[in-house]
Chains A and B, each alone.
Chain A
Amino acid sequence: MGYFLQQLINGLTLGMIYGLIAIGYTMVYGIIGMINFAHGEIFMIGAFIAFIAFLALGLIGIGWVPLALLIVLVATMLLTSAYGWALERVAYRPLRHSPRLAALITAIGMSIFLQNYVQLLQGARVKPLQPVVTGGVRFFETGEFAVAFSFLQMVIIVITLGLMLGFTLLINRTALGRAQRACQQDLGMASLVGINVDRTIALTFVLGASLASVAGLMFLLNYGVIDFYIGFQAGIKAFTAAVLGGIGSIPGAMLGGLLIGLIEAFWSAYFSVEYKDVATFAILILVLIFRPTGLLGKPDVEKV
């Protein structure tokens, strides 16, 4: 029981990180039908910006953890959003009306470019960060084993849940979110009611990047080391999460992220760490065989 609980906590924490990244994949796909392969790199850049922000705060001497976290969170979201915005503006918008393949290749190119860019600026060696949030609670102590629920995990779960809630409200309740959903359904019609479609698409990239950057911050806090390559692995996992949940569906991305995190945690715990990725993809394939649109995806056909 204790062991199970422990894996549940670990899996949830990991799943939150995947879910935050997956939202960006799913939103961009939903609005322009493109897989933004550079999104994993946006996550990685978020982690680096957070890393630099922590070092900077250390230099200034802001040591009170909640304040430091807040400052880093805001700075990371803002700066990474700028990268997301620039990515769309520079690399994707000029190709808006070109064949899909051109956009796809550009996305892969941007992914490689951003990896190299960070490698050049920051070096190829891993960057370690002193633990920022320490301590935690232990419960279910039975003999040797106790369930550890660290404050860091709590911070990750609380911030992610808060962000997802706020984000869901934004999409479902505000004019901005309505414009976003309208563009997802029919870009041409959205412009016919007076929506500035280019601006809405740019905003989608900004939102996706800011959520991914929070995931980057959490990854940094959770693992304590980052390098220019972390975007690849996490990006693939988050993309899988988006497909599992139903690409185009925001709740689907959150759910898919959680599921992938849980699968990984439990598989590693009860079976073997080596095959955890195989397990993840096997489950993805199974789901897609029985539900091609993913768990919460909408079928493409609709009444016209």
Chain B
Amino acid sequence: MTVLRVMDVHAAYGPIKALHGVDVEVVEGEIVALIGANGAGKSTLLMTICGNPRASRGRIEFLGEDITHLPTHEIVRRGVAQAPEGRRLFSFMSVVENLQMGAVSADPRHFDEDLERVFTLYPILRERRDQRGGTLSGGEQQMLAIARALMGRPKLLLLDEPSLGLAPLLVKQIFGVIREINTRDRVTVFLVEQNAHHALRVAHRGYVMANGRIVLQGTGRNLLADAEVRRAYLDGGR
């Protein structure tokens, strides 16, 4: 079943056009990676899926329903969660409060169980549970951002550069968790990464974006092998 279908979507920030007709499809159970250079429009695409900025043309479907014009909170309530660029934790709130915020759209009866689940994924968050989000280390903040997104029991998880700025060991751990929530919790994942190596290795399929358009797509393995992708995004070229 198709979870997400993005069809010919255009989006802009005032006069600045960022997406010029993007088509993307994500099927249930997949991990799909979106890679591309700085300013390609990757973050814009994730945000447009959530309705901010709004698609000026085209259509976005989630589980077969047209969500193009729904308000952001309605889209989220249907099961789309995002750990956005820059993490955007509620830095004046404690770790637990951040997780409570993540659970706003979920059934409150699941809260304890879901809290236990994310604490099992990220034990450090349990230790930090009463600490303010803003005082966590970079890695812990990223874990909290992902954990917060998971608290809503999403059907589709959007991750924007989850490995940005993290040490290699942490990057490995983050991708391990992404794989685990995909296989064990059956969450479909659409993730944006600059770290194309890692991303394409965990992903079933991938898209390459440039200047607001999808320029290449294929299985993770094929893209990893693609000469053009290697030149542009893997062999040190950014």
Among residues of A, the one whose C-beta sits closest to the C-beta of B106 is A194
Chain B residues bordering chain A, tally (CB within 8 A): 27
User: Which B residues are in CB contact (< 8 Å) with A194?
Assistant: 73, 76-77, 104-105, 152
Using a CB-CB cutoff of 8 Å, which residues 30-75 of chain B contact chain A?
50, 52, 71-73
Using a CB-CB cutoff of 8 Å, which residues 153-197 of chain A contact chain B?
175, 178-179, 181-182, 185-186, 188-197
B188 contacts chain A at the CB level, 8 A cutoff: no
In the assembled complex, how far is the CB of residue B123 from the closest CB belonging to chain A, in whole angstroms?
23
User: Which B residues are in CB contact (< 8 Å) with A175?
Assistant: 100, 104
Partner of A193, one of B71, B91, B104, B135: B104
A182/B101 in contact, CB under 8 A: yes
Q: Report the contact-size class of chain A (Cβ under 8 Å from the partner).
A: 20 to 34
B206 contacts chain A at the CB level, 8 A cutoff: no
B82 contacts chain A at the CB level, 8 A cutoff: yes
With A191-B73, A191-B76, A194-B73 known to touch, is A303 a contact of B101 (CB < 8 Å)? Answer: no
Among residues of A, the one whose C-beta sits closest to the C-beta of B83 is A192
B13 contacts chain A at the CB level, 8 A cutoff: no
B86/A304 in contact, CB under 8 A: yes
B93 contacts chain A at the CB level, 8 A cutoff: yes
A141 contacts chain B at the CB level, 8 A cutoff: no
User: Which B residues are in CB contact (< 8 Å) with A303?
Assistant: 91, 134-135
Number of A-B contacts (CB under 8 A): 68
In the assembled complex, how far is the CB of residue B92 from the closest CB belonging to chain A, in whole angstroms?
6
User: Which A residues are in CB contact (< 8 Å) with B220?
Assistant: none
In the assembled complex, how far is the CB of residue B163 from the closest CB belonging to chain A, in whole angstroms?
17
Among residues of B, the one whose C-beta sits closest to the C-beta of A304 is B86
A189/B72 in contact, CB under 8 A: no
B104/A195 in contact, CB under 8 A: yes
B52/A191 in contact, CB under 8 A: yes
A291 contacts chain B at the CB level, 8 A cutoff: no
Which of A182, A192, A302 has the largest count of B CB atoms less than 10 A from its CB? Answer: A192
User: Which A residues are in CB contact (< 8 Å) with B134?
Assistant: 302-303
User: Which B residues are in CB contact (< 8 Å) with A193?
Assistant: 76, 81, 101-102, 104-105, 148, 152
B88 contacts chain A at the CB level, 8 A cutoff: yes
A residues sitting closer than 8 Å to B (CB atoms) are: 175, 178-179, 181-182, 185-186, 188-197, 298, 302-304
The 9 A-B residue pairs whose C-beta atoms are closest, nearest first, are A194-B105, A194-B76, A191-B72, A189-B88, A194-B104, A196-B73, A303-B134, A194-B73, A193-B101
B residues sitting closer than 8 Å to A (CB atoms) are: 50, 52, 71-73, 76-77, 81-82, 84, 86-88, 90-93, 97, 100-102, 104-105, 134-135, 148, 152
Show 9 A/B contacts (Cβ-Cβ < 8 Å), sorted by A. Answer: A178-B100, A179-B101, A189-B90, A192-B76, A193-B102, A193-B104, A194-B77, A194-B152, A195-B104
